[in-house]
Structure 1
Amino acid sequence: MVRTPSHLTVVVLAQAGGPLVRVAGTIDRETAPRLADALRQPWASRSAPPAVRVDLAAVAFCDSSGLNVLLDADRQARDRGSTLQLENVPDQLRRLLAVTGTDEVLTLHSGPPSGGSVRPAPPTVEGG
């Protein structure tokens, strides 16, 4: 059996209401640490943003490793009086959240990421 390497791209964008994290590719045991690193960044500073939005529209697959990263980021957000908002959650991930009951814990939005001025903000984590 030939294993196809996992690819994940994570881009953090600064927006007025807080960062928007755009995620594309596969979130699994191999790539989950990259997502975790990107999701720790907004709370690394002393002033936590009111919300961090995660656009998952381009995620092809997410396993339990990715789910644990999202749950950990949600916990970090709540600990700092912030929220983690998942946007454009793909069907496969919605099923995973429903089966595990974590759709009752995490904040999901069905619409597209809210508009506003978008500008790239360092640092950007990319990989593949």
Structure 2
Amino acid sequence: MNTTDPVLSVTTRTTETGPVIEAAGQLDFDTAPHVRAAITTALTTTPAPDTVDLDLAHLTFCDSSGLTALIRARHEAAGTGTRLRLAAVSTPVADLLELTGTARLFPLAS
């Protein structure tokens, strides 16, 4: 990545099943607030969605701060009655979820 490339891009699109938030790049201490903000925005729409899907297929890196952001987002979603699902997961993120035992916290979108 060169210095003009964003470290993380976050986009949200609406589907029939609810919002899909796609994060691409590096999810770390500096970028985690951007993902959390997108999730919070999706959860505070009226009416609250039944599900919010996270598409992490294009994440190249996730550190403990990124993982913490995902876990906090899961708790925030549960508090609104919304299911937070993973629509796709890159290999580095899947490895982190398995290593930390947190994969079981996130249902997969079908």
- TM-score normalised over the length of structure 1: 0.76
Structure 2 segments unaligned to the other structure (5+ residues): none
CA offsets, 1:61-114, max 9 Å, x none?
1111111111111111111111011122111111111111111112234x6xxx
Q: Which has the higher helix share?
A: 2
CA offsets, 1:26-69, max 9 Å, x none?
00111111111111111123421010011111111111111111
The answer on 1:79 being equivalent to 2:64 is no
- SS of the aligned residue for 1:88 comes to strand
Partner Cα distance (1:92, 1:108) in 2: 16
- SS of the aligned residue for 1:19 comes to strand
Partner Cα distance (1:28, 1:53) in 2: 20
Structure 1 segments unaligned to the other structure (5+ residues): 112-128
Root-mean-square deviation (CA), in Å? 1.8
Identity over aligned pairs, percent: 36
- Runs of 4+ displaced beyond 2 Å: none
Which has the larger Rg?
1
- TM-score normalised over the length of structure 2: 0.88
Q: Which has the higher contact order (CA 8 A, sep 6+)?
A: 1
Report how many aligned residue pairs link the two structures: 107
